[in-house]
Chain A
Amino acid sequence: MRFERREHRSVALVIATPVLAVLCALALAGVLIAVAGAPVMEAYWRILVGAFGSRLSATETLTRASPLILTGLAAAVAFRARLWNIGGEGQFYLGAIAVAAASSHLLGGLAPAVQIPLLLIVGAAAGIVLLLVPLWLRLRFSVDEVVTTLLLNFVAVLFVSMLIDGALKDPMAFGWPQSQPVADAAVLPKLLARSRLHIGLVIALVLAAAVHLLQSRTVFGMQSRAAGLNATGAVFAGVPLSRTLVKVACISGGLAGLAGALEVMGVQGYVTKDLSPGYGYSGIVVAMLANLHPLGVVLAALFTATMFVGADGMSRSMGIPSYIADVTVALSLISMLVGVFFTQYRIRR
């Protein structure tokens, strides 16, 4: 048996791959559910009900999807240009803490219409700074950014821990390590009353469309794709390699930082150590599931959020560990990687 490169990748195949991957993952996870002793179809039904069965659960799922869209876009944009930004988690936290600090100390008095945009810029800027450092190391000293961005996650998270237990600690929090809250004027408007769903979802969707247009229609998009696919060829064609990567890093780090900012301003109001249930890392999974396509990221983020929120509901009602959600998402990633392989290769005997 040998693998042979496919001559043509049909559009149908490219679209079918993630669908098949998800079905395959659900089937495999079904085996685990069966082993846990629960009826499989019932469990899946419970996941759906848990994620969309009520107004509360549906808004909760969408609330969860918003940061995942942004961290997913952050990873997808960077990976397209072969900039391996594994540091979404750190950029998320740095964006969050920057917003909390700026709102509670500097900009708190400003009106919402001024303060909110400024804070979003501050959050994005914090994410950008955290990614420009490893990019500079790569361009200047050829340091592998996989290692540096990954390790900077821990640096960033510990730095945030230090701040929320020190300089930025909220004196009114009964000693809990949490940051001072953002000003009331910094709280994002809700999309639906009596829910946690805020306009961050709209911002994420608009940005997904914007990133899609940027990549498919602009000179910058074509150049960054060229740089990612073949740096030598891109340089020969006159693509300014370093400048392109700096721009890519600004978009990627900015999106991840923005995700953190929106989470603080829209959901929690202050920063804690568990502000993110791994949004930065899940963003990588979301990007891979979407095959790095910005619009696919939206769907992949929705799927991931559905699994996480739905599995909570399922585990409560059926007594199955909610880890099934992690396992399913992980399995779908593996299935997707296998699927992507088969969109590029066929089996030849």
Chain B
Amino acid sequence: MTNAVLDISGVSKRFGDNLANDNISLSLGRGEIVALLGENGAGKTTLMSILFGHYVPDSGKVLIDGQELPPGKPRSAIRAGIGMVHQHFSLAANLTVLENVMAGTESLWRLRSDTDAARQKLEDISTRFGLIVDPDARLGDLSVGEQQRVEILKALYNDARILVLDEPTAVLTNLEAERLFRTLKDMAREGLSLIFISHKLDEVMAAADRIIVLRGGRKVAERPAKETNKAELAELMIGRKVARPVREPSTPGEVALKVTGVSVSIDGVERLKSIDLSLRAGEILGIIGVSGNGQATLAHLLSGTVRRDKGDIVLFGEPVGDLSVEGAVQAGIGRIPEDRNNEGAIGEMAIWENAVLERLPRFSRHGLVDRSAGQAFARKIIDAFDVRGGRPATRTRLLSGGNMQKLILGRNLIDRPRILLAAQPARGLDEGAVAAVHERLLQARRDGTAVLLVSEDLEEVMALADRIQAIVNGRLSPAVAADKVNATKLGLMMAGEWNEEHEISHAL
């Protein structure tokens, strides 16, 4: 392509035995948005690191406006107009937005920094691209979405014409993600060229002009977004047909969990306001909502880590006071936490230790841990749940996200819990792993487990849940049957548009 601003041609990079990039070429036109789609480990990030000069390619070259970029020199890449927005931001929490944007742009030897000019430039960029942030706000006080805007502004401040975003939505809520994509489209219209890395089919279809699919280090396909669909992309990305499973009809059993009028305050803020829900054996109840509306508190309440202020919780017909973690585990509640890296596992501990930590009473006698029983338990989970990349004694941190989630699912499901609490169980996983997690949840449902699925992903909830409730600002809507709603109605519910129970059932 002659009018391409960026040309990557024949780039290969090998790490040990692993060919991370195998002769990959791509080009990017002015004002174009290209999505780099692939599973974790497909080589997307390696390719972008080569573009940005973090890695030196074994062969191949990078051309900007027809000029070859010297390999392995991030500074030349920045000077040539490449801006990188990392998944983990490289910003300082204790500085203001303006200071963060200016950092590194001025010579160390100047005694005064020209804040006025910088502020002017920042404000110009902000208004031009619709990236509104208060320049004097302390970065640490901003939300994750706003911090990402600062990261983008910082790249633009350095006169980037080509912007690379690495998994930009991984840390964002759905609403923030939509907003981001609107901004990206505005930026493309202004003449910027964008590459974004993703493994989410929805967003590449929604935002990109052209989609490049990587698999196992090779470019397997390149499609204009208009001429492809999600099914085709999923197949290209994974290399075989993967369909997310969908629930089959079933009749739920007895009420396993009933929550009536429960309120929870944390640090003086009321996070749950008199919620009601009832969950039956053999059904999946989906709780949807934009994150930050109290679903984390709901999950913590049923996990036994927060106390209720008022209201009743009834487990299998027996009122329980406050649930403790030990009480929850002993009552047969399987708990899949929202934040698997921090809550779900202790990375520096062995896999077997993470498997037994929350059920130590079962794996200890007279205060002594029964190591061999614990390791056998872990081995059983590894085999039954196909946890790859570790033995019982391996440190858990070394597992990939998908395998860590399999471990967490496994330790909860292997003994057939009566209730399963799954908070955002597929968040951040790649397509193959998502399908595996969904299949496990449906299997639990078939086995008669009462599953509470807390999720932000409409599609996930609609595919899996029998009934759906929306959570908005700490309030829980009445339940609606999943086969009687569509995405539009659910969208309204997530926005807080519901009335009395009977009205909803009539309306739908």
Measured CB to CB, the residues of A under 8 A from B are 7, 217-223, 225-226, 229-230, 232-239
Contacts and interface: CB of A to CB of B under 8 A. Distances in A.
Contacts of A235: 305, 325
B249 interface: no
A233 B325 contact: no
B369 A218 contact: yes
Given A237-B346, A238-B329, 16 more contacts: A217-B368, A217-B369, A217-B371, A218-B364, A219-B367, A222-B369, A226-B346, A226-B357, A229-B348, A230-B348, A232-B343, A233-B342, A233-B346, A234-B346, A237-B325, A237-B357
Interface string B307-338: 00000000000000000111001000001010
Given A218-B367, A238-B304, A233 B360 contact: no
Main secondary structure of the interface of B (DSSP, over half): mixed
A229 to B, nearest CB: 5
A225 B368 contact: no
B346 A218 contact: no
Contacts of A230: 342, 346-348
A219 B362 CA distance: 11
A263 to B, nearest CB: 31
Contacts of A220: 367
Given A219-B368, A222-B360, A238 B326 contact: yes
Interface in B274-326: 303-305, 324-326
A235 B357 CA distance: 11
Contacts, number: 67
Contacts of A222: 353, 357, 360, 369
A238 B325 contact: yes
Interface of B: 303-305, 324-326, 329, 335, 337, 339, 342-349, 353, 357-358, 360, 364, 367-369, 371, 398
24 contacts: A7-B398, A217-B368, A218-B368, A218-B369, A219-B360, A219-B369, A222-B357, A222-B369, A223-B360, A226-B346, A229-B346, A230-B346, A230-B347, A230-B348, A232-B342, A232-B343, A233-B342, A233-B346, A236-B325, A236-B337, A236-B358, A237-B357, A238-B324, A238-B325
B56 to A, nearest CB: 10
Nearest to A5: B397
A236 B347 contact: no
A234 B337 CA distance: 13
A238 B342 CA distance: 14
Nearest to A348: B15
A235 B303 CA distance: 11
Given A222-B353, A229-B346, A229-B348, A236 B305 contact: yes
Contacts of B326: 238
A220 B367 CA distance: 7
A78 to B, nearest CB: 18
A223 B364 CA distance: 12
A311 to B, nearest CB: 37
Closest 7 CB pairs of A and B: A238-B325, A237-B358, A236-B343, A237-B357, A230-B346, A233-B346, A232-B342
Contacts of B325: 235-238
A220 B357 CA distance: 11
A230 B339 CA distance: 13
Contacts of B349: 225-226, 229
